[in-house]
Amino acid sequence: MNSNIKRAVSLAKLKSKISSTLLIHGGRVIDPENGINDIADVLIVDGKIAAVGNVVNFETHDEIDATGKIVTPGLIDMHVHFREPGQEAKEDFESGSMAAAAGGFTTVATMPNTSPVVDTAALVRAMKKRAEDIDIINIEIIGALTKGQKGLELAEVGDMIEAGAVAFSDDGHFDSNARVFLNALDYLHSFNKVIICHEEESTLCEGGVMNEGPRSALLGLKGRPTVAEDIAVARDILLAEYSGGRVHIAHISSANSVEYVRQAKKRGVKVTAEVTPQHLTMTDDLVDPSDASTKINPPLRGQKDVVACLEGLIDGTIDMIVTDHSPHAPEEKDREYIFAPSGFPGLETSLGVLLTDLYHTGKVDLVTLISKMTTKPAKIFGLNGGSLTIGKNADVTIIDPNLEWTVDDKEFYTRGSHSPFIGRKLKGRAIGTIVKGYLIETNQTRVSLVHCD
């Protein structure tokens, strides 16, 4: 455990020194839920949002000067892989939580494709207890939809809901058995819970390592075609429409799939979708067989797919942005492209990439970006967060939109070091992450607490 994680795990000592009243002064507050986009103060009392506006006449407090900065609800990422239980060499709740805090995230949801798979109430409870013991950020637990994620029979989803599972997914696997999937939709409908769908028809992707197209042909690498995603998305939309259940399309990447979701929403189907920064900003032209950092699942697509995802984000077809934070041990990624596992860590680079490539280029406005990373995921998954509403937990992110920095894996908290963004110069970064009223100190923290009497 590195020294920064030790410092985070010892937060109880830091908390005892912090006043119960914290004022974040003079920042541009963006709270899409409450329609706020203005210079304002945010007052936090006993870990809750107490006031937003021109705050005066308050008692002894700690203060953060946010002049020239952006103050938002704490960022939320509903798709991360923290690798517990059983794969801690890749990541664990401590390193993952610190990576999240460094990236400005106050709440994340972990996927269940671990070892063993999180497919029982006992494991959900164990993971929630583990998160409480770490006590750095808020960690939600996603349970497996089927036993062992094998797609053959439902896991004990009812018991997992009672234990605190926030949603269900066989992420990493497409549930090819339509009858089992329909049974899941019918059963979870009464609980108003969401199924997060990994959409790739597996028989069309077997052996594929990148997007199927001119680039894969040039490189001589077997491809994963967009039609594999399209078929899966279309099927799950139809089953959701038939059953009245809720489906959420994970890491959407195909232009046709975006259009299927758009049309389904117009018909009233209960479908939502997420997209990653990499599928909004990168294409398969960047695939280099000598560098496995670009190997992800679904793969980087063509330019028309990137444009379609961006359009879907802007017009509301795509509801949220997630990182699909997928760290691997260095020795796993330091292999030939065809043998390396898919995925790379994204929590510490996500915001910077989005601000640099989308906001500063004028492609997406700041309010839209913040909404897709706060309000929207909170609403869809029923979280107690995503806004600065009075009385809610004081989860807050402070952003310097103009801070220029270079991505350096030596500064990462995550255990995964293979990222296609290493060495990139970015503009914009989270400089302060506050969870339940307490500032989480990381090596990216650029704000200071000042005690005022």
Active site residues: 324
**Among positive and negative, which fits the CA dihedral 222, 223, 224, 230?**
negative
Question: Contact 394/62 with Cβ under 8 angstroms?
Answer: no
Q: What are phi and psi of 402, to 5 degrees?
A: -110, 5
Going by C-alpha positions, the residue among 172, 191, 159, 163 that lies closest to residue 114 is 172
Strand 210-211 with 194-197, pairing: unpaired
**373 half-sphere exposure, CB direction, 13 A CA radius:** 28
Going by C-alpha positions, the residue among 74, 169, 78 that lies closest to residue 117 is 169
In angstroms, the CA 117 to CA 126 distance is 13
In angstroms, the CA 365 to CA 359 distance is 6
182: Cβ contacts below 8 Å, ≥ 6 apart: 239, 242, 243
361: Cβ contacts below 8 Å, ≥ 6 apart: none
In angstroms, the CA 265 to CA 249 distance is 12
Q: Give residue 4's identity as a one-letter amino acid code.
A: N
Residue carrying the six token digits 């796993």: 332
In angstroms, the CA 370 to CA 356 distance is 14
